[in-house]
Amino acid sequence: DKQANIIDGKAFAARLRGRIGAEVARLKAEHDLTPGLAVVLVGEDPASAVYVRNKGIQTREAGMNSFEHKLPADTKAEDLLALIARLNADPAVHGILVQLPLPDHLDSDLVINAIDPAKDVDGFTILNVGRLGTGQSAMVPCTPLGCLMMLNDRLGDLSGLNAVVVGRSNIVGKPMAQLLLGANATVTIAHSRTRDLAAVCRNADIVVAAVGRPEMIKGDWIKPGATVIDVGINRVERDGKSRLVGDVDFAGAVGHAGAITPVPGGVGPMTIACLLANTLTACCRINGLADPA
């Protein structure tokens, strides 16, 4: 049995961060510019707090400025919107990220769309979603951007390949499908109402799983040699221990796939690296400079 190549997202992300760090140093030296990322966290969600802390650490390690704004869970919408307006106007801030989910009393669509699209490093504003969908220069959501980078690295040109995206969220599934379509793949978007998901997957040269259900996609659903990108992060109890698994049954799929991302160590590290890449890109565009290489 041929074993799949395991795509090392951790090493890939480290190389990307290295390139970003070098570009940041060049911006400083040649243009006296330091990219700045503002992260806004409302409330005490423990997983969100970990993400925000890691984003801050990696932002500073790349030589960028990190501005963290922690607001209480009962923050009023008007106060959050006032903070976003200040960040929109602040020339030291090139990227603004509002950590989701927001507490229930806040309307996340309203809050996200208050971000200046030029500083919308998550790519969640309506303007950036529309730009991505129409093939115009956009800020692209970090998780799908990282997935596309790994696919391009592994496969080169994606033209004509059958790609199946399982999941249709605004954060992962839909923008992933847009990116694959833009790369000339033949794209199928599957979701909870899809009939015979196994058959849909068996036709795919590329499977991107973004479902949030542990090991739902089975090994024998994977076409021999296909490339599998597992976005899922699911915490499960196994042998009395808590561990993370993806949406793909990794042990089952590894004998079928040509290449597969592990969980952890696949898509996850690429997501934050792409946030840094987007912040650098935003800084360049806001200052009228060419996009970084």
Concerning whether 247 is annotated as a catalytic residue, the answer is: no
Confirm whether residue 169 is marked as ligand binding.
yes
Q: Which is nearer to ligand NDP, 138 or 208 (CB)?
A: 208
Candidates 36, 89, 87; CA nearest to 278 is: 36
271 contacts ligand NDP (rule: CB under 6 A):
yes
**Residues in contact with ligand NDP, shown as a per-residue x/- string from 150 to 179 under the rule CB under 6 A:** ----------------xxxx-xxx------
CB of 211 to ligand NDP, least distance (A): 4
Confirm whether residue 21 is marked as ligand binding.
no
Q: Kindly determine how many residues on this chain lie close enough to bind ligand NDP according to the rule CB under 6 A.
A: 25
278 contacts ligand NDP (rule: CB under 6 A):
no
Concerning whether 90 is annotated as a catalytic residue, the answer is: no
Q: Do residues 20 and 280 make contact, with C-beta atoms less than 8 angstroms apart?
A: yes
Residues between 194 and 253 with contacts to ligand NDP, criterion CB under 6 A = 194, 197, 210-213, 231-234
Q: Which is nearer to ligand NDP, 259 or 273 (CB)?
A: 273
Q: Do residues 149 and 123 make contact, with C-beta atoms less than 8 angstroms apart?
A: no
CB of 43 to ligand NDP, least distance (A): 18
254 contacts ligand NDP (rule: CB under 6 A):
no
CB of 289 to ligand NDP, least distance (A): 28
Candidates 71, 65, 66; CA nearest to 40 is: 71
Q: Which is nearer to ligand NDP, 93 or 112 (CB)?
A: 112
Q: Annotated catalytic residue: which of 120, 122, 205, 230?
A: 122
CB of 61 to ligand NDP, least distance (A): 18
Q: Do residues 17 and 57 make contact, with C-beta atoms less than 8 angstroms apart?
A: no
Residues between 93 and 152 with contacts to ligand NDP, criterion CB under 6 A = 143
Confirm whether residue 167 is marked as ligand binding.
yes
Concerning whether 58 is annotated as a catalytic residue, the answer is: no
Residues 92-124 as b/e (b if ≥16 CB within 10 A, e otherwise) read ebbbbbbbeebeeebeeeebbebbbbbbbbbbb
Confirm whether residue 168 is marked as ligand binding.
yes
CB of 265 to ligand NDP, least distance (A): 11
**Residues in contact with ligand NDP, shown as a per-residue x/- string from 20 to 59 under the rule CB under 6 A:** ----------------------------------------
Q: Annotated catalytic residue: which of 58, 99, 119, 178?
A: 99
CB of 264 to ligand NDP, least distance (A): 9
Q: Are strands 95-98 and 206-209 parallel, antiparallel or unpaired?
A: unpaired
By the criterion CB under 6 A, which residues form the site for ligand NDP?
Answer: 143, 166-169, 171-173, 190-194, 197, 210-213, 231-234, 267-268, 271
**Residues known to be catalytic:** 55, 99, 122
